Structure 1
Amino acid sequence: MPVPRTTVTAIAVVLLALGLPVAAAPGAAATGGAVPAVRVAAAPATVTVTGEGSAAGEPDIALVGAGVEATAKTTRAALDAQNEAAAALLRAVRAQGIVDRDIRTENVSVSPVYDYQDGVSTLKGYRAAQSFSIRVREVATAGALITAVTEATGDAGRVDSVVFDLDDRRPLQARAREAAYQDAHAKAAQYAELGGHRLGRLVSLSEGGTGYVLPMPPVSGDVPGAGIGAVPLAPGEIRATASVTAVYELD
């Protein structure tokens, strides 16, 4: 039974709306009343892969967390002692060639100190503290800076952390992205060959995520004071990671 022409026309309209090609059978136009044949082009086969990559580089800056604290009977006395120690710390840091834009106060606090015995708390005095973040742009001098800080501040000084990093992470991240892309392409080419195809054009590419692994040597607030040599440090390496999802056509 022939398909009504209106039905075929409706099908053609739907296919066109979906962006699918519609073709009439040869000679259909010439026959006038003949029903056109509708052909839908097959969608190309594709392969979807995930690529992962990483890149490593040497740190070119060190971020040193250091500070001072002092305890006294009154807040005024505690602040005075803390201020004196903080001034000594800043003089020592600047003497190491650190410019002011690379020194930042992170926190200032004054708090009471209690003695607890037999369930009773007794006010002993007050503790004043200030912490700093110091950016060292010559990694090899970070150990000498720590030594200078502890010698200048004595028992009031604290070194809380050292983190090695890159001043500009973008070039390393770009290398990790390139490695992830190449990994995805190699996987897609292998799957195409295994399936008896040739790898076609790239249809889509999306980034799954990026990350960094920073070396963090164990430096604590118990670094000794005056009389020590430069603190030995191991900068390690910075590692950037990336992942991508790629879709390729198969020819």
Structure 2
Amino acid sequence: MRVLNLFAIVLLLAGPAVAADMPATISVTGEGRVEAAPDMATISLGVTNDAGTAAEAMAANSDAVRAVIERLTAAGVEERDIQTSGLSLGPRYDYGRSDGTPPTIVGYSASNMVTVRVRALDTLGGVLDAVVAGGANTLNGLSFGIAEDREVMDEARTRAVADAARKAGLYANAAGVRLGRVLSISEAGAYQPPMPMAMAEAGFAKSAAVPVAPGEVNIVASVSVVYEIAD
């Protein structure tokens, strides 16, 4: 018991000293944004087919997807940039009866989704038109990005640190203190926020080249910085 009491006394005596050694700090979060022209696009497209049996639906869907992929490669899209992202097959039901009988199966639906990267943006409108002509009847979205984004992201990180220093300086001036050394820097994230373009289903492209405006993408970096208060 005496040993425990002595240990408690040591902790009580050491507590204020430990607290006194901890420096006063200012913690801030900085954000950096860089706008840049995209150099690639990612498309999520696919084919959906209905038929009386599961085998017929899947066979028709497979033929249509092969035609779409052939159109993509003919338009200059490389095989490495074409990837199956979803495949489904299921029954279609008739829910229209009001006499309490359970729904009945009236056929089957097969769907195959493909994710495509287009690296030459000047061909994007033609690629979209080509896949529609090839049989694609579902387009879930279109987003733009930067393939080699290291330099742009590093610029966003630099701006994020500068933004953190600006905020810390404001707080220090408002509090009447001086900033000391940086105690820690941690990155909260650096990323390209998606800029999706929602598309409707069948019939979304009928012209020789679908008009597409890539605009600019935002690169965002965020850092948390802890400054010591000098006085």
Does 1:172 find its partner at 2:152?
yes
2:54: which partner in 1?
A: 75
1:215-234 correspondence to structure 2 within 5 Å: 215-224=195-204, 227-234=206-213
Give the one of 108, 112, 124 matched to 1:126: 108
Give the one of 151, 155, 164 matched to 1:184: 164
Which deviates more from structure 2 when the two are superposed, residues 193-202 or residues 229-238? Answer: 193-202
Shift of 1:196: 5.6
Which deviates more from structure 2 when the two are superposed, residues 157-166 or residues 116-125? Answer: 116-125
- Counterpart amino acid of residue 149 in structure 1: V
Which deviates more from structure 2 when the two are superposed, residues 86-95 or residues 183-192? Answer: 183-192
1:111: which partner in 2?
A: 90
Shift of 1:150: 0.4
8 Å contact from structure 1 (residues 211, 242) kept in 2: no
Q: Percent identity?
A: 33
1:23: which partner in 2?
A: none
Q: CA RMSD in A?
A: 2.9
8 Å contact from structure 2 (residues 46, 113) kept in 1: yes
- 1:128 and 1:57 mapped to 2: Cα distance? 39
- 1:180 and 1:159 mapped to 2: Cα distance? 36
Deviation readout 1:68-110 (Å, 9 max, x if unpaired): 1211222222222112211110110000111111101112222
1:84: which partner in 2?
A: 63
8 Å contact from structure 1 (residues 165, 238) kept in 2: yes
- Paired residue total: 215
- Counterpart amino acid of residue 145 in structure 1: V
Gaps in structure 1 of 5+ consecutive residues? 1-10, 21-40
**Relative to structure 1, is the Cα distance of residues 46 and 78 closer, same or farther in structure 2, using a 3 angstrom cutoff?**
closer
Structure scoring higher RCO (CA < 8 A, sep ≥ 6) equals: 2
Deviation readout 1:120-167 (Å, 9 max, x if unpaired): 4232222222110111111232221110000121xx632221111222
**Relative to structure 1, is the Cα distance of residues 60 and 116 closer, same or farther in structure 2, using a 3 angstrom cutoff?**
same
1:214: which partner in 2?
A: 194
1:27: which partner in 2?
A: none
- Counterpart amino acid of residue 131 in structure 1: M
8 Å contact from structure 2 (residues 129, 210) kept in 1: yes
2:122: which partner in 1?
A: 140
**Relative to structure 1, is the Cα distance of residues 107 and 196 closer, same or farther in structure 2, using a 3 angstrom cutoff?**
closer
- Counterpart amino acid of residue 136 in structure 1: V
8 Å contact from structure 1 (residues 74, 125) kept in 2: yes
8 Å contact from structure 2 (residues 140, 198) kept in 1: no
Q: Tell me, what secondary structure is at the counterpart of 1:229?
A: coil
8 Å contact from structure 1 (residues 217, 234) kept in 2: no
Q: Which has the larger radius of gyration?
A: 1
- Please give the TM-score of this superposition, normalised by the length of structure 1: 0.73
**Relative to structure 1, is the Cα distance of residues 184 and 123 closer, same or farther in structure 2, using a 3 angstrom cutoff?**
closer
